[in-house]
Amino acid sequence: MTNHLIIEDLSYLQQISESNTVVAGNAFAGTTTFTATGTGYAFAGATGLALGQLTYTNTQTQAKVIQYCPELTVSTADAFATAYASSGNHIASSSSLNTSTSFSFNSSSNFKTSIGS
């Protein structure tokens, strides 16, 4: 007996992105993050921009694909960005966070599927 599970037409799945912009007087802070995962790949990106007299930005990304065994592959992507700006008594702060995870299952009985973004 052979079991089949076929999942098709997932073209509507896209990368996940987030963007935040804050303007306060002469202070500006903006962040953008994006992640995308699928069978055998993982992407993560982050940007931060701060304009003012005192500024701070921090971005962190991690993307990995782990094959736990021939039947199971897990793809994960994380992105974080923060930005801070102050000018006089004006303060602008922005942060963005994104996470994507995909699971891919294969078996010797012709069963294959992917779950995730």
Please give the pLDDT value at position 106: 74
Does residue 60 lie in a domain region? yes
Please give the pLDDT value at position 26: 86
Does residue 53 lie in a domain region? yes
What residue numbers bound the domain in which 62 lies?
16-104
Does residue 45 lie in a domain region? yes
Please give the pLDDT value at position 18: 66
Does residue 3 lie in a domain region? no
Please give the pLDDT value at position 114: 58
Does residue 9 lie in a domain region? no
Please give the pLDDT value at position 8: 54
Predicted model pTM: 0.72
Does residue 99 lie in a domain region? yes
Please give the pLDDT value at position 86: 92
CA 69, 72, 77, 78 dihedral sign is negative
Domain tally, the chain: 1
Give the residue ranges of the chain where pLDDT is below 50.
1, 4-5
Non-local (6+) Cβ contacts of 36 within 8 A are 14, 15, 16, 42, 43, 77, 100, 117
Please give the pLDDT value at position 78: 96
